[in-house]
Structure 1
Amino acid sequence: MRYFMTLENDFIVFHGNLQQLLDKVESGEMIPKLQASHAPMCKFFTSYYVISGIRHVVPLVHGPTGCPLYMSDFVRTRECCEIRGIPLEPTACTALNESHVIYGGEGKLLEAVKEAYAKYHPDLIVILSCCCSGIIGDDVESIAREAEKLIGCRVLALRSEGFGGDFRSGYEDAFKLIMELMEPPKTKMKGTINILGARWGPTPTEFNWDMDEIERLLGEVGIKINAIIAGGCTVEQLRHAREVELNASWCFDWGQKLGDLMQERFGIPYSRTGQPYGPEATKEWILGVAKPLGMEAEALKVIEREMEEVEPEIESLRQALSGKTAIIEISEFPGPIRALSLARMVAEFGSHPVVINVHPYTIKERMPSIKFLLEEGVNPEIILTKGLFRLGSFRSSKETEDELETIVKKYDNAIFFGNSGRFPPCPVVNLTLMNPAFQPQYGFRGIKNISALVRQALENKDLPRSRLFRGMLYGTRTN
């Protein structure tokens, strides 16, 4: 591997490959601790994200009004409604005060469930406990069972207090809860699957453009989707989720736990595939779904036709990336699993991938997915810098910007994949998902879009970047 000629840079904390980083995390040599500025969302937040991915559901937060404020405004209003055009759906709250903390809030919760149903008539109400109700020990499960007898829809309860687990357990416990809505199958829907692991309906890391490309390719093969769980699915779709022949995921990382649980409990096979970035991963994803359904022949025909259509873009990417060092940074985007999927893709086109700042906490919390990627041969060069561990955050900071610029200078023929708000001395491929003109990034249409972005980066590499904009983001340089 083309590592640095020297490791004398005092800001480098780790330099090796993904397997070596995993070994250090597992052995405890690199302790995956996070300070507050780096801390991920709590269990309550991520539980809410999954539940909000179900249509016509009322999340009922059992706690003070502050807990649902950010969630209802940012998630349900700005992300789901304004970006995806979904009608605004409510978030309810029991608005606990000092008296409820002393005497208990179970009576308030029961009345809140009845009020939420009378106002909105949802298909589902999910009670979410937060730190306050978790500390006083309110029995949210019993209230949910009692309330369901009094109103006209299902009522479920999820213990999601922030101290009760980390962001990962919030996602996974919410997916487990959703399984309670899945009724025993009355029939088997031939050639039909579920897509697992979506959130928010869906989130900024899984915008519907990528989902649309997955659905398009499956439709070309003749495969139908019952539900995208929980990326805008309905309660009715969840009821029929056990009638499919197979479960697949848009991302192995988020779909894996639910896929394994549904296979263990319901006997539904789970297709273990990564993200469909680039030709090979896209072929593997399609065949990973088609083969268990006995539709391999149909899938191969679709793959052949699609490959012919994108051959010019594939050749363009080979010419553009061959012999280059692809610097892939994890900050606002692309996130750890997408970054590693991108590393595989650029290697396919002849580049040497270098992934910057995969936090050890990420390795710990995504251990099954990291090991899955290693089994698939994804083992890129990894660099961790001091800026990742200091007072900055996962977002771009002046310190990590300076480190990035120094790193890029160490490599010949570098090209940067990530956030356009970075200023490395090399071509910048703007992969932010808020760039809809070049979406999706998955599948064969994704190959066309990524090819266009790479071409754009190379054609504009000599244009001067704005010093004013850089100064606004990172401050001006001082000697």
Structure 2
Amino acid sequence: MDDDSIVFHGTLSQLLAKVESGEMIPKLQASHAPMCKFFTAYYVINGIRHVVPLVHGPTGCPLYMSDIVRTRECCEERGVPLEPTACTTLDESNVIYGGEGKLLEAVKEADKKYHPDLIVILSCCCSGIIGDDVESIAREAEEQVNCRVLALRSEGFGGDFRSGYEDAFKLIMELMEPPKKKVKGTVNILGARWGPTLTEFNEDMEEVKRLLGEMGVTINAVIAGGCTVDEIKRAREVELNASWCYDWGQKLGDIMQERFGIPYSKTGQPYGLRATKEWMLGIARPMGLEDKALEVIERETEQVQPYLDYLHEALNGKTAIIEISEFPGPIRALSLARMVEEFGAHPVVINVHPYTIKERMPSIKFLLETGVNPEIILTKGLFRLGSFRSSKETEDELEAIVRKYEDPIFFGNSARYPPCPVVNLTLLNPAFQPQYGFRGIKNIAALVRQALEYKDLPRSKLLRGMLYGPK
């Protein structure tokens, strides 16, 4: 590979230093620009059952949310009952004279029509620019309807994508009532933010619930991954908050610890044996369940020992090329890097965009503290096309990178065509879910075995040509 194609080659800590200094942040926003504050705020609110997100803006703003997120991803693909997304449909007159009156009427209509447990007003760029007082309208409307009404300033220009979900999590805290009692042996799982959509794997959550149940721990709420308003109201009654993903749960966990005194277990994602042990003990120790957790860990480890042995045998000495394109996402990619290193492979993570490092700075620093510091390569294709999606340019660069390493194995999107075994980690591979915990160890071992046993089978040149054009 021509070295001119590589923009950065170093470790995660070195990339972090360049991002903090501003050296690696492109000035031009292109298709790599992350979701705006409105999008991520909506995704958090969408994770609450029987809630009506009320978008205060023109009709186009909620289109993607209602059509793609709620209708396709939740209802059609996950079998979740379809719930509405409402909109005030601001027009030119409202932009000139204000839309607060229209917003008040929309809240009352949504309550009468849908009878929800909660209505959340979400401002968009339009209502944010004209300065409508959504908070005052929410307070006024709540006195006239039969449910809670909250307002969130989520106009896209009002912050980055991270501030959207963090502000939404803070808003949810307004629903948390003073505890009537402390329920021993209960936890909240923090950090799910899309609800019943494709980024929150039901199978991973089922494994989390299973392991907690084996330790004698009950989940009060998964905030906000399909939880109810009542579960959020009871959230302060738990013994402990634990993370679904440290990156997304960290802010809410820290605030609830500071404001309510609820301890927060700070652990990474349970990929592989070592991280799974840490995740379980991070919950068990503050709850006085360490002995029980160790008993479960010993039993579960014995059951998956053949799979652990196979992963050591299969990955030891290899170079694991891990890419975040389509899946598994930046934090999962780094968690995978730690896992493959545990089994003797050398991890190389490709094209973690500097925006990802900037927006997830606390989590990146946390991972570095836990010893996660893999080799990182950024290519020109990432910056030129600016997309996390696979492209002809990034495919060519990936193929060239793989040829530079001895005994490589690729973890990522099965639509890639590197000259090495491909471990298919895409979302649409349900037969090999979950990837968390002990069951995840079995599934990842099966995926690795599949990749190595069928590595010599020819792959479709026609499909490659359709995806990336002729060589």
| Fold agreement, TM-score > 0.5 | yes
**What does 1:385-424 correspond to in 2, within 5 Å?**
385-424=379-418
Identify the residue that residue 39 of structure 2 maps to in structure 1: 45
Q: Which 5+ residue runs of structure 1 have no aligned equivalent?
A: 1-6
2:325 corresponds, among 319, 323, 331, to 331
Matched, 1:351 2:356: no
2:111 corresponds, among 114, 117, 128, to 117
User: Is 385-394 or 295-304 further displaced after alignment?
Assistant: 385-394
The residue type paired with residue 137 of structure 1 is G
1:439 corresponds, among 433, 436, 440, to 433
1:319 corresponds, among 313, 320, 325, to 313
**What does 1:29-40 correspond to in 2, within 5 Å?**
29-33=23-27, 35-40=29-34
Identify the residue that residue 287 of structure 1 maps to in structure 2: 281
Give, in angstroms, the shift of residue 86 of structure 1.
1.2
Contact residue 252 and residue 369 of structure 1 kept, 8 A: yes
Deviations 1:175-202 (A, max 9, x none): 0000000001110010100000111214
Give, in angstroms, the shift of residue 81 of structure 1.
1.6
How has the CA–CA distance of structure 1 residues 384 and 76 changed in structure 2, closer, same or farther, with 3 Å as cutoff?
A: same
CA distance in 1, matches of 2:47, 2:349: 31
Give, in angstroms, the shift of residue 32 of structure 1.
4.8
Identify the residue that residue 76 of structure 1 maps to in structure 2: 70
The residue type paired with residue 335 of structure 2 is S
Contact residue 192 and residue 246 of structure 1 kept, 8 A: yes
Deviations 1:241-286 (A, max 9, x none): 0000100111100000000010011111000000000000000000
- Give secondary structure in 1 for the equivalent of 2:265: coil
Contact residue 419 and residue 430 of structure 1 kept, 8 A: yes
2:467 corresponds, among 438, 462, 473, to 473
Identify the residue that residue 464 of structure 1 maps to in structure 2: 458
Identify the residue that residue 4 of structure 1 maps to in structure 2: none
Size of the aligned set, in residue pairs, is 471
CA distance in 2, matches of 1:467, 1:9: 27
- Give secondary structure in 1 for the equivalent of 2:427: coil
Give, in angstroms, the shift of residue 28 of structure 1.
2.1
Give, in angstroms, the shift of residue 356 of structure 1.
0.3
Deviations 1:260-314 (A, max 9, x none): 0100111110000000000000000000001000000110111011001100100
- Give secondary structure in 1 for the equivalent of 2:195: coil
Contact residue 52 and residue 120 of structure 2 kept, 8 A: yes
Matched, 1:237 2:197: no
Q: Which 5+ residue runs of structure 2 have no aligned equivalent?
A: none
Give, in angstroms, the shift of residue 78 of structure 1.
1.3
Deviations 1:55-94 (A, max 9, x none): 0000000000000011011111111222322100000000
Identify the residue that residue 226 of structure 1 maps to in structure 2: 220
Identify the residue that residue 157 of structure 1 maps to in structure 2: 151
Contact residue 75 and residue 81 of structure 2 kept, 8 A: yes
Identify the residue that residue 272 of structure 1 maps to in structure 2: 266
Contact residue 202 and residue 230 of structure 1 kept, 8 A: no
Contact residue 213 and residue 440 of structure 1 kept, 8 A: yes
1:205 corresponds, among 190, 199, 206, to 199
Contact residue 356 and residue 384 of structure 1 kept, 8 A: yes
- Give secondary structure in 2 for the equivalent of 1:301: helix
The residue type paired with residue 400 of structure 2 is T
Contact residue 118 and residue 148 of structure 2 kept, 8 A: yes
Identify the residue that residue 191 of structure 1 maps to in structure 2: 185
Contact residue 200 and residue 230 of structure 1 kept, 8 A: yes
CA distance in 1, matches of 2:177, 2:315: 49
User: Is 273-282 or 73-82 further displaced after alignment?
Assistant: 73-82
Matched, 1:144 2:147: no
Identify the residue that residue 106 of structure 1 maps to in structure 2: 100
Identify the residue that residue 340 of structure 1 maps to in structure 2: 334
CA distance in 1, matches of 2:78, 2:277: 28
- Give secondary structure in 2 for the equivalent of 1:421: coil
Contact residue 145 and residue 155 of structure 1 kept, 8 A: yes
CA distance in 1, matches of 2:469, 2:195: 37
**What does 1:49-60 correspond to in 2, within 5 Å?**
49-60=43-54
Contact residue 33 and residue 361 of structure 1 kept, 8 A: no
CA distance in 2, matches of 1:329, 1:34: 23
CA distance in 1, matches of 2:337, 2:399: 19
Deviations 1:95-121 (A, max 9, x none): 010010011000000000000000000
1:303 corresponds, among 280, 297, 305, to 297
- Give secondary structure in 2 for the equivalent of 1:434: coil
The residue type paired with residue 62 of structure 2 is P
Deviations 1:309-354 (A, max 9, x none): 1001000111110010000011101111000000000000000000
TM-score w.r.t. length of structure 2: 0.99
The residue type paired with residue 444 of structure 1 is F
Contact residue 78 and residue 197 of structure 2 kept, 8 A: no
The residue type paired with residue 324 of structure 2 is I
- Give secondary structure in 2 for the equivalent of 1:446: helix
Matched, 1:63 2:57: yes
Deviations 1:203-255 (A, max 9, x none): 42321111110000000100000000000000000000000010011110000
Structure 1 residue ranges, 4+ long, deviating more than 2 angstroms after superposition? 31-36, 202-206
Contact residue 123 and residue 154 of structure 1 kept, 8 A: yes
How has the CA–CA distance of structure 1 residues 306 and 33 changed in structure 2, closer, same or farther, with 3 Å as cutoff?
A: farther
Identify the residue that residue 175 of structure 2 maps to in structure 1: 181
CA distance in 2, matches of 1:187, 1:392: 51
Give, in angstroms, the shift of residue 450 of structure 1.
0.3
- Give secondary structure in 1 for the equivalent of 2:3: coil
Give, in angstroms, the shift of residue 360 of structure 1.
1.0
Contact residue 420 and residue 430 of structure 1 kept, 8 A: yes
Contact residue 19 and residue 25 of structure 2 kept, 8 A: yes
Contact residue 194 and residue 200 of structure 2 kept, 8 A: no
The residue type paired with residue 41 of structure 1 is M
The residue type paired with residue 338 of structure 2 is R
Could you tell me the percent identity over the aligned residues?
A: 83
Contact residue 114 and residue 147 of structure 1 kept, 8 A: yes
- Give secondary structure in 2 for the equivalent of 1:67: coil
